[in-house]
């Protein structure tokens, strides 16, 4: 595997389900990000991790719970989601946080549908 991988690519879940999204980067980077991409809205940064420590949480509802066990893996745990949470969830990584000046490498995303 190369670059940034995400699994699953598609996920359909009910509002009472619990599921997790997984992201893995094979680039030796130290910073990882979760973004939400909804139709007709700008890309929304959700969480930032730098050297496994969470450095940013952009007022994301607690039904989204990130986990970063090491610099290569990032998870997004989902529970009791709402239909408006349906979106494409993108993971990205960069060498370090560096104020966004480093290029971010994105995974293909997980298309989430909440019924």
Q: Which residues bind another protein (CB under 8 A)?
A: 4, 6, 40-43, 45, 48, 55-56, 58, 90, 92, 97, 99-101, 103-109
Nearer to another protein, 55 or 82 (CB): 55
Q: Considering beta carbons, is residue 17 or 104 the nearer one to another protein? A: 104
Q: How far is the CB of 80 from another protein (least distance, A)?
A: 26
Q: Which residues in 6-33 are b (16+ Cβ under 10 Å) and which e? A: beeeebebeeeeebebbbbbeeebbbbb
CA-CA distances (angstroms) from residue 56 to 60, 66, 80?
A: 10, 11, 22
Q: Which is nearer to another protein, 28 or 42 (CB)?
A: 42
């Amino acid at each position: 595997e190369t670059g940034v991988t995400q699994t699953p690519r598609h996920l359909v879940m009910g509002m009472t389900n619990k599921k997790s999204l997984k992201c893995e980067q094979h680039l030796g980077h130290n910073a990882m990000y979760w973004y939400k991409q909804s139709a007709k809205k700008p890309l929304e940064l959700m969480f930032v991790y730098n050297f496994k420590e969470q450095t940013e949480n952009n007022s994301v509802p607690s039904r989204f719970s990130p986990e970063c066990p090491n610099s290569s893996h990032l998870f997004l745990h989902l529970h009791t989601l709402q239909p408006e949470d349906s979106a494409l969830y993108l993971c990205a990584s960069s060498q370090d946080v560096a104020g966004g000046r480093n290029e971010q490498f994105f995974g293909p995303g997980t298309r989430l549908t909440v019924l």
